[in-house]
Amino acid sequence: MKYVHLGRSGLKVSRLCLGTMNFGPQTSELDSCVIMDRALELGINFFDTANVYGWEMGEGITEQIVGRWLAQGHGRREKVVLATKVFGRMGEWPNQSRLSARHIKQACEESLRRLQTDYIDLYQMHHVDRKSPWEEVWQALEQLCREGKVLYVGSSNFAGWHLAQAQEMAKSRHFLGLISEQSLYNLNDRMIELEVIPACEAYGIGLIPWSPVARGLLAGALDSVTSGRRADEDLKKDVERYRPRLEAYEQLCRELREEPANVALAWLLHQKAVTSPIIGPRTLEQLNGTMRATDIILSEDTLNQFDGIFPGPGGAAPEAYAW
């Protein structure tokens, strides 16, 4: 496993990040623990979760599973760069969601309790909160950093101008600010190339792509749909919408003699702005299979072929749409 710095920070993380969203709803606690143990064996040291995962309001089911795994000891906590998130609704009362200073403090304390740890390596804002001023947000996060409960701060689902606004305010407060942004990014969803990626590069913010295989679209979806294997209705609609692209893509994967899901991950690993794509295995077999992506080398000609199949927005703004 290779390791890289997360953004401009001194923190080193694995080139793949273990996403835990399936732990609880899709994967049993026992199997989740097996997957986390195996991830460490494979050298994956970057684990991502969120207080809302588990999808039972206020319960933090996935964080609890990760916490019980960490509590088993044997160096688990020391080895793991632990990331979680704040923003989502954790109760029915008005201040139990979003990014008020009150909610940030309360949500952090609750995540620490569920995760059975005294610090969070990377605390990420799960979404931008247009109603909470940056002065308030940074004041709350700075306090958590001073207390040693949070070491680094990241964002998720921010627009490029949000990243710039956040960083300029942090700079004025002599605070490190954001070291990472977690965005939707894959071969089929490339809109962040317009402004999010240029902002990340300008500010030294590491990019952590989520949904690297586009909810299964880039993981051999044509075969899944035609063979009658499990495929939800949204995936079936996407397959029909993007069928010409997928036919060309899966044909190219066959020529490369690689699984489509691994090729999609490998493409992300070839993008210079990307730090660690998030993989979300439901099973141990999926985790083991994913590791092949780190060994795939894509030639310049192959990368150009992917650009022809999935053209993206045309590069960075404004040149993507103006002279």
**Catalytic residue ranges:** 53
Residue 186 CA, chain-centre distance (Å), reads 11
Backbone dihedral region for residue 178 (phi beyond 0: left; psi -120 to 50: alpha; all else: beta):
beta
Residue 169 CA, chain-centre distance (Å), reads 24
Q: Which of 122, 117, 56, 119 is nearest to 86 (CA)?
A: 122
Q: Are strands 3-5 and 81-86 parallel, antiparallel or unpaired?
A: unpaired
Contact 135, 143 (CB under 8 A): no
Contact 88, 50 (CB under 8 A): yes
Reading the block at residue 146, the tokens are: 């001073």
Contact 196, 274 (CB under 8 A): no
Q: How many CB atoms lie within 10 A of CB 56?
A: 11
* Beta-sheet strand order (sheet of 178-184): 206-210, 178-184, 150-156, 120-125, 81-86, 46-48, 17-19, 278-279
CB under 8 Å, gap of 24 or more: what pairs does 221-227 form?
221/246, 222/246, 222/247, 222/250, 223/250
d(CA 196, CA 87): 20
Helix (H, G, I), strand (E, B) or coil at 180: strand
d(CA 144, CA 146): 5
Reading the block at residue 283, the tokens are: 């099973």
